[in-house]
Amino acid sequence: MSFTGTPDEGSVALVSTSNTPKISGEEQIGQPQYFSGFSTAHVTDGRGDKKTFQLSTSVQSNGSKITATADAQYSSSVLAGAVVNWLKVGAYDRDFQAGISTVVSQQLNKGFVLKGFVNTVQFAKGFNSKPNVVAWISGIKLVNPSTWSIKVSATAITTGGFDISIDGPAQDIDALDVTWIAYPASRGHITSGELSFSSPVPVLETGDQVETFRSTRLESPPRILLGVSGFEIVNKNGKFDLEVTTSGVTPAQFNWKASVKDGAGSPKTLVSLTAAYVAVVDL
């Protein structure tokens, strides 16, 4: 699917005070075409039997405001909070292409750990040179895992398309939506990359991290779309808690931190994390 224009982005923080699988929020904006991902999610299996973690994100617009939705969907899931990040792709610049690739359990070889399972994406229109491609998780369903574990990334990028590579225990992955955007590597006012953290033992948080932009063409501090693209989190009583935040954005870098803390006494469960980002300077 092809979309055109200079991307915009934002986020809507969602908090629930009731026992519900679905929460929504609104932000005033102007007529985006949009894609979504998450940087924060707090989901509990209400039965406490560690069965399923499911989360999907979406956004809708009526031209003057955007409604972001996080949906746990699974009947016993309780969604306590989320941050849904959204990306606008306008209608005036044909440099950009974006879409959503869906993988379902029937495509996976159950009983094996996926290493580089791929979904191949063909661009609607080829690029003149190899583009930059960013991919992140916008919907996911994991079933019966002892550890929440998955990683998606854009690989084998050419002018005509790329592969979405998926790593993780195939028997745990029931469904997955991967959102992606591709743009010319020479394009000004935009850059992208991937945040990465790993630890030999589970931790509560990453501590302060610094990401340096690979592009030197950012004239002012950009706005940042951040989407989780992978994680390994120990499953404690069916609770999934993850929060990724950014701060201190300059034209050269920004700070970021990830945490699995959910109040006092939270267990150390974070083993690794990746998050894709797109940084855009307002013109």
Tell if the pTM clears 0.85, that is, is over it: no
Q: What is the pLDDT of residue 219?
A: 87
Q: What is the pLDDT of residue 264?
A: 60
Query: How confident is the model over 80-110, as pLDDT tens digits?
Result: 888 888 877 765 557 888 888 887 655 555 5
Query: How confident is the model over 121-178, as pLDDT tens digits?
Result: 999 889 999 999 999 999 888 877 778 889 999 999 999 999 998 888 777 788 889 9
pLDDT at 220 over 80: yes
Query: What are 200's two structure tokens?
Result: 């030999």
Residue 30 neighbours by CB distance under 10 Å: 11
Q: What is the pLDDT of residue 199?
A: 94
| 268 or 68, higher pLDDT | 268
Give domain limits for the chain.
Answer: 7-280
| Element (DSSP H or E) covering residue 85 | strand 77-89
**Beta pairing class for 52-61 and 7-15:** unpaired
DSSP-assigned states of every residue in 189-205: TEEEEEEEEEEEEEESB
* Stretch among 10-24, 112-126, 170-184, 241-255 having the lowest mean pLDDT: 10-24
Alpha-carbon distance values, 35 to 3, 197, 213, 278 (Å): 11, 25, 22, 12
